[in-house]
Chain A
Amino acid sequence: MANLFKVLVVDDEPGMRSGIARILNDSTITLPEMKTDVCFSVTEAESAEHGLELIESQKPDILLLDHKLPGMSGLELLVKLTEKKIDILTVMMTAYASLETAVEATKNGAYDFLAKPFSPAELKHLMRKASSRILYKRQAQSLAEEKKKLRFEFISVLAHELKSPLAAIQGYLNIIRDRVSGEDIGHYDAVIDRSLIRLEGMKKLIFDLLDMTRIESEQRKRDLTDVNLNHAVKKSVDAFALSAKEHNISVHFDVPEDLTIKADVLELDIMINNLVSNAIKYNRPGGKVDISVAEQGPYIVIKVCDTGIGMKEEEQKKLFKDFVRIRNEQTRNIVGSGLGLSTVNKLVQLYDGKISVHSEFSKGSCFTVELLKNSHQKTKDESESSADKIMAKTE
């Protein structure tokens, strides 16, 4: 899809204006790095005063501005635009290509400089640079806006998720206070249990949230070392031994003794812990959890399978997003924050890996995580092509 940029030429020489219009109106510039074509529609003005009017009424994308004009000069127009906070990519043109004018113009917000006389090739070269600058800037802006919107959505869902257990507990406490079921405290066992479950869920949400902020926070340095996977899995299985025993679930793992991965210990722990605790939580009493880790080409493949409640196909699709919880008869009393798997998913990306699930309703689920064995140290933003990076690239 081609982008049409509006170009305004401000020059008191009619020949210069029509020459530029002729060259640009007929040309299409291909920007392979942006995977797009650019073409131009040119408007002309013979003075800075008329130019300013057109800028305000037509909002052109690019301004080709002569330095020496009758009346208001090019530099004065630049200053006016800055005062009026009008954002337009400006290229100064002048026959007196002196260093001082160039410096002065750039100081006042001009993007680049074109020395007269110039060839059509020089003009096109500059327009190519200017166009890709504009497109990069737009892309960066929409990315930043998208990020802001996602943050806002996250916070509003989070507020809801924190409020709903409080409302439930409040309701239960009112029932107890009003002695709705009589004076015998035994009548309130179910009410108290349910309150505790909701409290536990809220606590879990806060812990998961802390995990997530720790990963996403800029402060934390990732520390990639060789981590023994057998030890990592054993550590996790031990951590959940008690809750496995409570639900009478047997946990087996099969991990070669000396298998390692270059990973950040905290990140690896969060991934394994989430998968193992899910396999126990969403299991049935007397069920099984099987964990296996193996090397496959450049990848480490971690597989965690349970004999639990499983999922329907439409439920599986939503699974790795923030705050998604599968709600049904079976999950009603299971504590979860809806952040666990989405956090795992985010971490997996840092290892150039992927996460997938194979599940059969009421039979069980198998989660597979593939991580690059030797992923290189990278910063947080590297995988999400941040706005700053795009901006830096254009310089």
Chain B
Amino acid sequence: MKKKILIVDDDTDFIGQLEILLSNAEYDIDKAYSKAEAEKYLDNNNKPDLAIVDLMMENTDSGFALCYHIKKKYNNLPVIMVTAVTNETGFQFDAATPEDKAWIKADAFLAKPIRFEQLKREMNRLLGN
């Protein structure tokens, strides 16, 4: 069975491009264009196998809040956070150390523009392929 991926981003083009790239890599894609839309999706008891979440949407920290929400509902659901913040400000996040893991509820952090190969590697790792 195809794995189901939830992509949350307010950037239509980013979602569109991931959709093209991932459908080709044999995934089913569900989309949400805001934190609110994603939360509605979760409240309707949809359960993806992995979520890709943008950091800045309605608010600058929407992604963090959404991650928290996702993990509270499905503790084992892997989340990859993507953001252009690093590229624009040089401010780098990482979810590798235990201290970061304590407050960033994401399993991986990728900087936009993302490299597809790297994304696929992270997805495979988190999906246990």
Contact = CB atoms under 8 A, between A and B. Distances in A.
A180 B20 contact: yes
Contacts of B20: 175, 180-181, 191
A171 B112 CA distance: 11
B10 A171 contact: no
A171 B11 CA distance: 12
Interface of B is mostly: helix
Nearest to A333: B12
Interface residues of A, number: 17
B21 A180 contact: yes
B16 A194 contact: yes
Contacts, number: 34
B17 A332 contact: no
Contacts of B14: 168, 171
Interface in B14-52: 14, 16-17, 20-21, 24, 33
Interface string A33-69: 0000000000000000000000000000000000000
Interface residues of B, number: 15
B76 to A, nearest CB: 30
A332 B31 CA distance: 14
Contacts of A191: 16, 20
Interface of A: 160, 164, 167-168, 170-172, 175, 180-181, 190-191, 194, 198, 327, 329, 332
25 contacts: A160-B88, A164-B11, A167-B13, A167-B84, A167-B112, A168-B11, A168-B13, A168-B14, A168-B17, A170-B113, A171-B13, A171-B14, A171-B17, A171-B113, A175-B20, A175-B21, A180-B20, A180-B24, A181-B24, A190-B16, A191-B16, A191-B20, A194-B16, A329-B33, A332-B12
